[in-house]
A and B are shown apart, each in its own frame.
Chain A
């Protein structure tokens, strides 16, 4: 089943168009990776999907229904959670309150159980549950951001550079978590600078340049393409 389908999408900031005719398709249960240089428009694409930016043209379909004109606070309730660039945790709130905010769209009785599961998944958070989120380390903040998104019970997760600025130990942990989440049935759209690892976990991948999708294929295929190796994997042409 197709989870997310993006057609001819155009979006930007004010009069400046950043995304030109973007096409993308994500099947249920896949990890799809999007790579691209700084300023290519990756963040803009995620913000458009999650409703922070209103597209000027094109369509976004989530599980078959159009969501392109809905506001962000409605989209999260449909099952799409966006973990923004730079771990937008709520620094003046406790770890636990951050997780409770993750459940803001839910009204059922299993919220506390789900929060418990996140704390089990990330024991560092459990130890610090009553601390202000500002006091967490960068890696812990990223775990909190991901954990908070999970509490909303999304079917599609949008992750914007989750490994940015993290120590290798945490980077490994994040990629392990992504695989676990896939096994649990989540679908993931991953934006990464860490192209090698991101392509390795990817079922499918896209390369964006200046607001357009210029390459696509399976993760393995992209890893082997010379232009990808040259530009994104830092290898001279073999």
Chain B
């Protein structure tokens, strides 16, 4: 495959999540690692800080897993938080990723359950895909050169940002 792997995976995941958003009338969907990093988000993200949300969801994810262990379960696969206007449905995709769906229409819960279960496998595969050097990303040089160039730039940025 000479096609760019990263771009193809990116497009496929975006398409899956976009159709999840429209099928289930979601406000927002966030795919988050167990460690609280955002893999990607779709839908409307203008009303919240998505990075902060991901960090908090990561915390919930690990806390919930520990709670599950304490009561003799491996994990709880679904969490539902109901608010007055907005609700959030969190489901495990694999051991390392979760999908958080923010929605307003409670009537969609059945649909949400079905669709998240259906797409979980593929979403998990795409989320776990490793970065591969490719043509659309400028870092297409050999790894050693790429890394050393990256470090040089990053150190420069750090010095500028943190200099007292």
Q: Are A and B physically bound partners?
A: no
